[in-house]
Amino acid sequence: MDFEFPLPLDRQLGYGLYSAFMAVSRVYKPWLDQLGLTYPQYLVMCVLWEEDDQTIGGIAGRLDLEPSTITPLMKRLELAGHVVRQRNPADERQVRVKLTDQGRAVRAQTRTLADALYSKTDMTVAQVADLNARVTALRDAFRSA
C-alpha cells in the first residue's frame, strides 16, 4: 500500500478518534450543562457509580489520568454536593471519595445522555457497542505496546 507522508488529516487514525470524541462531546454538552457537570466530572462520577468509596489514585488510574488532574475535579464535585472527600485515618496521605445522596441521584438523570447519543447516529445499539469494543481493543493494544 502506498502512503504519502504525512498522511492527509482525514486518513490519520489519531485525528479520526479525536474528531469523533469532539463530536460526541458536543452531543453530551447540553445534557451535561443541565446536570451542572463537565465531561471530565461526568467521567469521575461514572467511576464512582461503578464502585463508590474510592481513593483519588484509584479514580485517576481508572481514567488514565494523574491524581493531580483529578483533585481539582473532586473539589468542584464536592462544592456541588455530589461527593465528599475524607482522609483515610489509616493513611493520612490517602484521600477517599464517596458519593452523596445527591451524587447518586444524578445517575438516574444521565439516561438522557445515551438517548441523545443514539439519536444522533444511524447506528444500532449493537453497532455502537461493537465500535466501542473495537476502540477499547485499540486503546489496550497501544497501552501494552
pLDDT in tens, 58-108: 999 999 999 999 999 999 999 999 999 999 888 888 899 999 999 999 999
- What is the pLDDT, as a whole number, of residue 2? 66
As a whole-number percent, the residues of the chain with pLDDT over 90 amount to 71
C-beta atoms surrounding 74 within 10 Å: 20
Domain parsing of the chain, residue ranges: 9-144
More confident residue, 65 or 116: 65
Phi, psi of 124 (to 5 degrees): -80, 165
List the one residue out of 94, 95, 76 whose CA is nearest residue 37: 76
- 124: enclosing H helix or E strand: none
47 neighbors 59 (Cβ within 8 angstroms):
yes
9-144 adopts what CATH topology? Arc Repressor Mutant, subunit A (1.10.10)
What pLDDT sits at residue 15? 95
